[in-house]
Amino acid sequence: MRTRESEEMYLETILLIKGKKANVRSVDIVEELGYAKSSVSRGVNLLVKKGYITLDHVTGDIEFTEKGKSKARNIYERHLILTRAFEKMGASAATAEENACRVEHVISDEMFAVIRAFAEN
């Protein structure tokens, strides 16, 4: 998995987990994505270094920085809009969801704007 895609998957996953529970820890990400603990640990540390999240080394709690929350929300918005557009084109909900999850990480801003306009009409 490319670095940007992996980074975005972690941010989106943290956002979704935060929607379900107050405190997010690395183990929650492991359970949600099915990744190895070592991979998640490495990914979380990279997000800390990039200033997207903070990690409480006592409790293990993960919190977004403003920069990280903004990026996570943007990724999730792309996911929702792409899913809606694919369904509007005739894809099943499952197929739309699966493909949106992959496309959201590689689509250009210009192409996303075109798809957004299509989905919102």
CA distance linking residue 90 with residue 34, whole number of Å: 30
Whether the model clears a pTM of 0.85, i.e. scores above it, the answer is yes
Same domain? 85 vs 108:
yes
Q: Are 32 and 101 in contact (CB under 8 A)?
A: no
Give the list of residues 6+ apart from residue 77 with CB closer than 8 angstroms, or none: none
CATH code, 9: 1.10.10.10
What pLDDT score does 3 carry? 60
- Residue range(s) defining the domain that contains residue 98: 70-120
Number of domains forming the structure of the chain: 2
Encoded tokens for 100: 């949106």
For 56-69, the pLDDT digits (tens) are: 999 999 999 999 99
CATH code, 109: 1.10.60.10
**High-pLDDT (> 70) share of the chain, %:** 98
| DSSP-derived secondary structure letter, 29 | H
Same domain? 61 vs 75:
no
